[in-house]
Amino acid sequence: AGSFLLQETTPMKARAIVLLDLDYFYCQVEMLRNGLPAERPVAVTQKFLVVTCNYPARSSGVAKLMRTTEAVARCPDLRLIAGEDLTPYREASDEAMQALRAFGPVQRVGLDEFFIDVTAVAEARASAGAWAPGTHVHTAAQGTTTAEALARTGTAYRPMDLRAASSGSGGSNSGGGSSNKSGSDSRSGSGGGSSGSSSGSSSSG
């Protein structure tokens, strides 16, 4: 029920697909369940390892797959929460998936990652002229990664980004796009960080 296939047609219709990765997902779930403030360093553990942590913990040097003893040594105020029981994370993932269906068909890649086909919403916004002034929408007929590789432009520009054009310059081709660390990012796996594309499923928050 949560998957979909994009059928090729002739001519092929361009689709708008969004990858949403919920940042430090297990940790966010536990912070909400336990009523913890955003500034409190928190890490979710399985056995003796940190599987994900929030940004206050990361700023103190805590990292994914770090031993809990080392994590506490680096961040004495760290709140450790056992995450062996995946039930709360599965339930939160289901809630997120239901909310995302308002924007189009959803395919779950992992507990914290989803593909959303937002073609209909994007077309409606485009028809209504609802894009913000100066927004640059890059399209690639052969897919974002492949098209960029074939172009061999030698820039850090990521075609999957919606970029606001610089005043008078038509946009910037440097900097590799922007990364939003407030709640989600695009990457493979889980627990934070960023990369251009994602595949497979997430096994930890």
Query: Per DSSP, what are the bridge partners of residue 117?
Result: 17
Angle at 15 between CA 12 and CA 18, to 5 degrees: 155
Instruction: Rounding to the nearest 10 degrees, give the CA dihedral for residues 184, 185, 191, 192.
Output: -120
Q: What's at 102, amino acid-wise?
A: A
Going from the C-alpha of 12 to that of each of 9, 15, 45, 141, the distances in angstroms are 5, 9, 46, 9
* Known active-site residue 123: no
CA 121, CA 103: separation in Å to the nearest integer?
7
Query: Per DSSP, what are the bridge partners of residue 44?
Result: 52, 81
For residue 105, cis peptide bond before it (omega within 30 degrees of 0): no
Annotated active-site residue in 8, 70, 113, 123: 113
Known catalytic residues are 113
